[in-house]
Chains A and B, each alone.
Chain A
Amino acid sequence: MNYIWAIMLIVGVLFAAAKGELAAFSDGLMASCTEAIYFVLGLAGIMAVWAGLMNIANKSGLLDIFAKLVKPFMRYLFPKEKNQDTLAMMIMSFTANIFGAGNSATVFSLKTMEMLDNENARSTIASNEMCMFIAVNMSMVQLVPITIIKIRSDAGSLDPGSIIIPSIIAGLISMAASIAVCKFFERKDHV
């Protein structure tokens, strides 16, 4: 991440200098900081609500019931994951993603990452579970991409929803590829 980020910024500065657009560049950077704060502020509210609700579900035992239900499916992806709460949180994140509850999904995902981090003893090297979780989560397709359908119908599409099935198929193919990469690296580690 250190490299990626440094390259992003330095390349930006060089290009802006070469094009003589340094003023616009600086303005853009400053504006985006503010944007980031607004974004997190918006997220903080949703985050608080879901973290609160999940705390209820956790302490009332609902999460355990839920975790048991989805265990078979999760066992394949996360064979070493024993903690039921983490698995339940992962499932919440996946479900929220599928149903397009974008920011709520982010909240569950971050919570999951925190839990995985603790299980990983706050090591500086990512665990297999973290990689797999991110890989699956990244290609988790929204069942109904509402924003995109909205864009299409605004542009006068005859059938705005026609992209739903292709999106799901493309998403599944992409997910299979990500999972395969993870499984490949996990196996390599064992040898």
Chain B
Amino acid sequence: MTHVLSAISICFIPIVITIIIGHGFFKRKPVYDYFIEGAKDGIKTAIEILPYIIAIFIGIESLVSSGAMEFLENLFSPLLDIMGIPKELTSLILLRPVSGSGSLVLVEHIVSAYGPDSFLGRAASVMAGSCETVFYVLAVYFGVTAVKKIRHAFLAGIIGYIVGVVASVWICML
């Protein structure tokens, strides 16, 4: 099962490229010119999102390097306790919404400290595999738009995240 799934994942990009170029070529379209045209657009978008990315990066760094994150962890752990979530996972739960790479480092720590097949190791892995970097996504996605009021996108993200965290832990308990 794992092998089939990962084979599909590996083939995804090459297959998409073949289909797009093949189809365009078959239709006798100037594929190269179209590519350049689109690529120019892509670079423009990248530059447009740069300020938003810098802003969110320093925001996250501010919380992490000042030790505010640690404080939040202690604050939240009793609450998580009630939901049956072990306190070893607190920092992962708090860091995951803001930083993808940062939370992967935490997964690595948890997995090597408690063992990958232990309850904590599995729960951490499932959590990282199923929950997204909510704040980061909101900042960057709305960054390319003119939107100032994001309405229920925030709530939908947060509730989805919390549900995902609880579901990850409970599934691993079964």
* A residues lining the B interface (CB < 8 Å): 1, 4-5, 8-9, 11-16, 19, 21, 24-25, 27-29, 31-33, 35-37, 39-40, 43-44, 47-57, 59-62, 95-96, 99-101, 104, 106-107, 109-111, 113-114, 116-117, 120, 122-126, 130-131, 134-135, 137-149, 151-153, 155-164, 166-171, 173-179, 181-182, 185
Contacts and interface: CB of A to CB of B under 8 A. Distances in A.
Contacts of A51: 38-39, 41-42, 45
Interface of B: 1-2, 5-6, 8-9, 12-13, 16-17, 19-21, 23-24, 27, 29, 31, 34-43, 45-47, 49-50, 53-68, 71, 104, 107-108, 111-112, 115-117, 121-122, 125-132, 134-135, 137-142, 144-153, 155-157, 159-161, 163-164, 167-168, 171-172
A164 to B, nearest CB: 6
A117 B147 contact: yes
A135 B66 contact: no
B55 to A, nearest CB: 6
A47 B132 contact: no
A40 B46 contact: yes
A28 to B, nearest CB: 3
Contacts of A141: 129-130
Q: Which 7 A-B pairs have the closest CB atoms?
A: A55-B38, A12-B62, A51-B42, A174-B164, A178-B160, A28-B65, A167-B129
A35 B27 CA distance: 42
28 contacts: A5-B56, A8-B59, A21-B67, A29-B61, A40-B46, A40-B49, A50-B42, A51-B42, A52-B34, A57-B23, A59-B34, A60-B24, A60-B27, A99-B8, A110-B45, A113-B145, A137-B141, A138-B161, A140-B132, A153-B116, A157-B121, A163-B126, A167-B168, A171-B130, A174-B160, A174-B164, A177-B163, A178-B160
Contacts of B19: 62
Given A106-B140, A135-B160, A138-B160, A24 B152 contact: no
B6 A146 contact: yes
Contact of A148 (B23, B128, B172): B128
Given A114-B144, A155-B115, A170-B171, A43 B46 contact: yes
